[in-house]
């Protein structure tokens, strides 16, 4: 969601019953502008809000289009108190399966420990992990040129779970109308200035929207690598249909304002106003995946 258009674009988010209060809007705008001053991005967007029991997380995403081949670089930021945005920690693939089983709500305290490894709180650390109280083990290689130091095991904090959830939602859900972006001759991504929006009929077809991520399917990868890719607009993956019916495209009563919701991540929506250049996506929810969807359809 573009920062200067947050008040207007919230009207799309209202369709799933969410909004930002007046206090949240003011504080969020100030925090985002502060973030934009310290770090330079081609574009800074407001990604969404994840609700917790004690406090909420507000997420921003910074995009860098220039000098990135084929897909912009995305950087995520979060804040729980709307004062200052901080970087989201990098993903640790070790805990991927465990995180997917977490079904309780976020609490809003980023430092909360979710998986305990170092043995605080009286838990026994697993036997194969080094005891953090002992001095660091230094394993030397044969020729003594490299010294390998085992890093101390870290607890899995709530902010790590937040990083997983945000990245997962962005990967599975972020979307754009076809035609909104195009490639330059040097295969960098840019917004398409001559994009005038989908018309009414096109806007209500889900095939006219595509993922906003580096293409994963084989034919799209081949398409984007071609030299004439800059004349095509549909070089991103089509919206997945596994499980079938996970996307729900609806409009408001004027039929003009289209929202595309994802039922696996209830709270995600992509939006577009037909006939204009207004489009975007956001997530307003509790950050829990609806894994029972396959049984519900």
Residues 21-40 that bind another protein (CB under 8 A): 21-24
Return the range that interacts with another protein (CB under 8 A); candidates 10-18, 110-118, 140-148, 170-178: 10-18
Total of residues contacting another protein (CB under 8 A) = 49
- Regarding 206 and contact with another protein (CB under 8 A), the answer is no
The DSSP bridge partners found for residue 209 are 177
CB nearer to another protein: pick between 20 and 60: 20
CB nearer to another protein: pick between 118 and 290: 290
Nearest partner of 163 among 288, 50, 76, judged by Cα: 76
The contact pattern for another protein, residues 38-57, with x = CB under 8 A and - = no contact, is: -----------x-x-x----
- Regarding 122 and contact with another protein (CB under 8 A), the answer is no
DSSP summary character for residue 219: H
Question: Least CB distance from residue 56 to another protein, whole Å?
Answer: 8
Other CB atoms within 10 Å distance of the CB of residue 161? 20
79: Cβ–Cβ under 8 A, 6 or more apart, which residues? 31, 57, 58, 85, 86
Q: CA-to-CA distance for 33 and 84, rounded, in angstroms?
A: 10
Tell me, letter by letter, the H, E, C secondary structure of 45-109.
EEEEEECECCCCEEEEEEEECCCCCCCCEEEEEEECCCCCCEECCCCCHHHHHHHHCCCCCECCC
- Regarding 248 and contact with another protein (CB under 8 A), the answer is yes
Select the residue interacting with another protein from 187, 190, 221, 232 (CB under 8 A). 190
Cβ atoms of 268 and 262 closer than 8 Å: yes
- Regarding 286 and contact with another protein (CB under 8 A), the answer is yes
Question: Least CB distance from residue 13 to another protein, whole Å?
Answer: 6
Question: Least CB distance from residue 29 to another protein, whole Å?
Answer: 16
For the chain, the residue count is 297
Residues 137-176 that bind another protein (CB under 8 A): none
Q: CA-to-CA distance for 194 and 197, rounded, in angstroms?
A: 9
To the nearest 10°, report the CA torsion of 7, 13, 15, 20: -60
Question: Least CB distance from residue 76 to another protein, whole Å?
Answer: 21
Question: Least CB distance from residue 142 to another protein, whole Å?
Answer: 49
Q: What angle do CA 142, 146, 147 make, to 5 degrees?
A: 95
Q: CA-to-CA distance for 43 and 65, rounded, in angstroms?
A: 8
Select the residue interacting with another protein from 137, 184, 217, 219 (CB under 8 A). 184
Longest dimension (CA), the chain: 74
- Regarding 62 and contact with another protein (CB under 8 A), the answer is no
Select the residue interacting with another protein from 16, 113, 117, 214 (CB under 8 A). 16
Select the residue interacting with another protein from 13, 82, 88, 282 (CB under 8 A). 13
246: Cβ–Cβ under 8 A, 6 or more apart, which residues? 240, 262, 263, 264, 293
Question: Least CB distance from residue 268 to another protein, whole Å?
Answer: 12
CB nearer to another protein: pick between 174 and 269: 269
Question: Positive or negative CA dihedral for 275, 189, 212, 47?
Answer: negative
- Regarding 196 and contact with another protein (CB under 8 A), the answer is yes
Interface residues with another protein (CB under 8 A) are 10-11, 13-24, 49, 51, 53, 103-105, 184-185, 190, 192-194, 196-197, 230, 245, 248, 250, 252-256, 261, 263, 266, 275-276, 286, 291-293, 295-297
């Amino acid at each position: 969601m573009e920062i200067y258009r947050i008040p207007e674009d919230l009207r799309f988010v209202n369709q799933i019953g969410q909004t930002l209060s007046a206090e949240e809007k003011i504080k969020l705008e100030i925090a985002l502008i502060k973030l934009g001053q310290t770090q330079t991005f081609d574009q800074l967007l407001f990604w969404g809000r994840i609700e917790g029991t004690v406090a909420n997380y507000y997420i921003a995403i910074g995009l860098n289009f220039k000098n990135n081949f084929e897909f912009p670089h995305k950087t995520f930021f979060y804040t729980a108190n709307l004062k200052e945005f901080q970087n989201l920690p990098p993903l640790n693939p070790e805990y991927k399966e465990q995180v997917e089983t977490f079904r309780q709500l976020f609490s809003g305290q980023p430092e909360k420990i979710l998986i305990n490894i170092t043995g605080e709180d009286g838990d026994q650390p697993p036997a194969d992990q080094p005891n953090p109280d002992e001095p660091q083990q230094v394993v030397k290689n044969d020729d003594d040129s490299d010294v390998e130091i085992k890093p101390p095991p870290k607890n899995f904090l709530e902010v790590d779970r937040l990083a997983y959830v945000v990245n997962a939602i962005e990967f599975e859900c972020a979307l754009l109308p076809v035609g909104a972006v195009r490639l330059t001759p040097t295969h960098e991504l840019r917004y398409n200035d001559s994009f005038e929006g989908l018309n009414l009929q096109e806007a209500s077809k889900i095939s006219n929207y595509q993922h906003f991520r580096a293409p994963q399917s084989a034919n799209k990868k081949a398409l984007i690598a071609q030299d004439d890719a800059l004349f095509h607009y549909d070089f991103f993956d089509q919206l997945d249909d596994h499980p079938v019916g996970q996307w729900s495209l609806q409009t408001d009563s004027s039929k003009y304002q289209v929202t595309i919701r994802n039922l696996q991540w209830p709270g995600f929506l992509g939006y577009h106003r037909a006939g204009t250049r207004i489009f975007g996506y956001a997530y307003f929810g509790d950050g829990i995946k609806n894994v029972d969807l396959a049984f519900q359809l």
